[in-house]
Amino acid sequence: MRTHSILVILFDGVQPLDVAGPLDVFSAAARFTGSASTPPYVVRTASLGGETVRSAGGLRLAPDLDLADVEDPDLLLVPGGPGVGDVDNRLVTWLRERAPNVKRVVSVCTGAYLLAEAGLLDGRRATTHWASCDYLASNYPQIQIDPSPIFVRDGSISTSAGVTAGVDLAMALVEEDFGRAVAHEIARLLVVFLRRPGNQAQFSVPLSAQIARSDPLREVQYWAVANLASDLSVPAIAQRAGLSTRQFARAFAEQVGMTPGRYVDLIRLEAAQRMLTDTRDGVIRIARRCGYGTPEAMRRAFMRELGVSPTEYRRTFAKSSTLNPDPR
């Protein structure tokens, strides 16, 4: 495993959450991967002249570096905020000259303005905060603005919507670097939505389940996720935990924060969403693998939780390679 270097640009009027949200995600990754000698990410902040900036709301942020002295990072993060319309032209020039050398460039919220002004989004699909999409589209017609998704990834450049969407995008990057399991643990730690790949964040399943304190219940949680097609009725999993049905249901709800039945519903739905978007398996096969038994049972679950059928979900959010699924 190698360490990924991240550079965050600071300027007067930057939105603090645009900076802090993604940084919390990247710093949390160290809990679940890497070591003291090889951290997953090393994050540095920089401003013009290395000067302290006053963020929106008045919070002062002291950068680590002067932009003139930084080396090209693996990932460049450009936050937004009220100050994007008043930034020094030298910052835009720096982006125009240096960003093309960076493997991954990310903007949060109205940070897309700075990328657009630097010409980095020309000919690309992008997004920003919904309230700012019309302005960006009218002033930069060479950019294909999509106001719907929480984030858009087009080649080496990713743009995200409102401030909390920066967390979703950061989760996507962590998953890309270190896998779904690490992203899942970070989501639990930060008590945020478990981000789905691509444009699917608006239909995410809330990551409201906690990890049980007691070993038997915790092992049952992990076992259920790995054995979705098994009998996951309360009596069956209570027996696996070595408890009576009543004891198990009470302890599970207390420690996990939801009933066993609700937990099973969510992990099956999450797995079905992933299979619909990431595989070519047919609805019948996915329903069987996820423990629904029949496509109709899975359809009812999707309509109840997401308001769309499995077929509609796949048609809207599937990767291009899965748009013609195996009918079985």
User: What DSSP letter does each residue of 212-245 carry, written as one string?
Assistant: PSSHHHHHHHHHHHH-TTS---HHHHHHHHTS-H
Q: Which two tokens stand for residue 100?
A: 């093309």
Active site residues: 109
Contacts of 57 (CB under 8 A, 6+ apart): 16
CA distance 128 to 142: 15
Handedness of CA 5, 196, 321, 141 (dihedral sign): negative
Alpha carbon of residue 107 to chain centroid: 14
Query: What are the strands, taking DSSP E only, across the chain?
Result: 4-9, 41-47, 53-54, 60-61, 65-66, 75-78, 104-107, 125-126, 144-145, 151-154, 157-160
Cβ distance 273 to 203 under 8 Å? yes
- Name the CA radius of gyration of the chain, rounded: 22
286-289's contacts with Cβ under 8 Å and 24+ in sequence apart are 286/310, 288/229, 289/228, 289/229
Q: Residue 155: which of 213, 104, 223 has the closest Cα?
A: 104
Length of the chain: 328
CA distance 101 to 304: 46
